[in-house]
Amino acid sequence: MIPLQVADLGPAVERGSVAFSLVRVGMNGVVAARVPLERLRWAPGLPLRLSVSSGLLVVAPSEKPSGTSVPPRMSLTLPARLRARCRIRAEDQVLLAAVLEHDLLVVYPQHVLYTMVTAFHDNLVDIPDRTAHSD
């Protein structure tokens, strides 16, 4: 099988250890994040650290109090400067991936998803269809 070209998340993760949620970015940079935040067991008020790595926005718990924390409504505001660095625009859809064993929330921008999916589909063309039957 041909390996997929995907963004590196570090060590391989176990099956079922990543929870996904596809959400739309609001005009103010807010995304609905209840599902992945609950899977990570991040409670409202938890201080967060946001950074960019390999074009992905990465959210992690912070050991120090910060200006960003999990709000009571369990949404996240993606700061404009980080959205710009990741090429995330208002109304884009992004994939939120809660990486449970690393206690991270990774935001995959639409252009990264497009690249990953088209690379996967390009590889499918080269794989013979083993389910085809001749009649």
Which of the 8 DSSP states describes residue 18? E
| Domain 18-125 falls under CATH 3.40.50.10420 | no
Domains in the chain: boundaries: 18-125
In the predicted structure, residue 5 carries a pLDDT above the cut 70: no
In the predicted structure, residue 126 carries a pLDDT above the cut 90: no
Please answer whether residues 58 and 106 qualify as being in contact, where contact means their C-beta atoms are separated by less than 8 angstroms: yes
pLDDT in tens, 82-120: 999 999 999 999 999 999 999 999 999 998 988 888 887
Q: For 63-77, what is the mean pLDDT?
A: 89
Sheet holding 48-53, edge to edge: 18-24, 93-99, 104-108, 56-61, 48-53
Which of the 8 DSSP states describes residue 100? G
Q: State the pLDDT at residue 113.
A: 87
